[in-house]
């Protein structure tokens, strides 16, 4: 086999048939948005098939990851993360159960006093160990790079989940910025049935652009260091740790934050000025 054939065989070509999660995401997002404009697609399809992949997206709206799914599912097997409370939701949960357990993975959390806009996250290593399984089997895992933002701009702090997952699965990170083109925050959650119907009747679906950045191949952190930081981030385990373990965990945590910041800067570079935040 010549070099050209080998290269072509190792790339992802558009699929004639997409998965349930891809189809569900297309249908659901089409109720709110026009078909996405896609830039940087070559950064996705040129990643080798045998390379573990975590796609780290913005979370400026409740539909960002869904928009990423609509594109990625056309090229490779994909799974997506969601807040665990969504799995119990009468609308979203029903859709998630339909698409299949191997395509949707929960992130532990609970509602705060202000409902969905004050979610309290609890780092649970088991969440990421579960996600690691499909990633190592060749599925791309879509996970937000930061906590949900409701100010229409990137938050000041990076999230740790995507970085931690990429480290334990030795995966490449592909940043994906989703830009719903509207001047201010708009509630695009599936629960907002009234808002969705109103926009449909008024023919006011929104334009959206998804941009894939350059792949980021992280400097690997030793697994034993990741195990210690996982204990530190777990509120049930932290109080059991020795002082020297806590100090080691803090050093590793700073490494993860620096890598998370690299992803945030990449996302910011793909967003309009008003959505970059402090990045």
Q: Which run of H or E residues covers position 247?
A: helix 243-269
In this structure, is residue 5 part of a structural domain? no
Mean model confidence pLDDT for the chain: 84
Residue recorded with tokens 């078909």: 35
Residue 142 domain flag: yes
pLDDT classification of 6: cutoffs 50, 70, 90: very low
Count of domains forming the chain: 1
Q: Which domain holds residue 167?
A: 16-275
Euclidean distance between CA atoms 132 and 169, whole angstroms: 6
Q: Is residue 6 included in any domain, yes or no?
A: no
**DSSP state, residue 279:** -
**pLDDT (tens digit per residue) in 199-250:** 665 667 889 999 999 999 999 999 999 999 999 988 788 889 999 999 999 9
Q: How many CB atoms lie within 10 A of CB 212?
A: 24
Residue 7 has a pLDDT of: 47
Q: What is the CATH number of the domain that holds 207?
A: 3.40.1130
Residue 10's pLDDT band (cuts 50, 70, 90): low
Count Cβ atoms below 10 Å from residue 6 Cβ, excluding itself: 9
- The predicted-structure confidence for 68-86, as pLDDT tens digits, reads as follows 999 999 999 999 887 766 6
pLDDT of residue 98: 67
Q: Is residue 9 part of a domain?
A: no
């Amino acid at each position: 086999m010549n070099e050209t054939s080998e290269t072509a065989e190792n790339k992802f070509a558009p699929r004639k048939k997409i998965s349930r999660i891809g189809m569900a995401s297309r249908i659901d997002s089409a109720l709110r948005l026009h078909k996405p404009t896609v830039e940087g697609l070559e950064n996705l399809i040129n990643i080798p098939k045998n390379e573990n992949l975590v796609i780290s997206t913005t979370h400026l709206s409740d539909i960002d990851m869904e928009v990423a799914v609509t594109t990625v599912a056309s090229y490779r097997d994909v799974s997506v993360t969601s807040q665990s409370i969504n799995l119990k939701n009468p609308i979203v949960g029903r859709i998630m159960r339909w698409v299949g357990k191997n395509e949707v993975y929960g992130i532990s959390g609970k509602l705060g006093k202000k409902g969905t806009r004050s979610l309290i996250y609890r780092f649970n290593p088991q969440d990421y160990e579960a996600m690691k399984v499909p990633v190592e089997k060749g599925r791309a895992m879509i996970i937000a790079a930061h906590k949900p933002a409701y100010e229409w701009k990137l938050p000041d702090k990076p999230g740790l989940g995507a970085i931690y997952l990429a480290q334990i699965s030795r995966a490449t990170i592909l940043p994906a910025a989703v830009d719903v083109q509207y001047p201010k925050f708009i509630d695009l959650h599936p629960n907002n049935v009234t808002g969705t119907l109103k926009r449909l009747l008024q023919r006011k679906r929104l334009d959206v652009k998804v941009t894939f950045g350059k792949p980021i191949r992280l400097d690997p952190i030793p697994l034993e260091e990741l195990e210690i930081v996982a204990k530190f981030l777990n509120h049930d385990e932290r109080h059991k740790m020795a002082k020297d373990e806590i100090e080691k965990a803090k050093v590793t945590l700073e490494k993860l934050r620096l890598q998370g910041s690299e992803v945030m800067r990449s996302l910011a570079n793909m967003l309009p000025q008003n959505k970059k935040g402090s990045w």
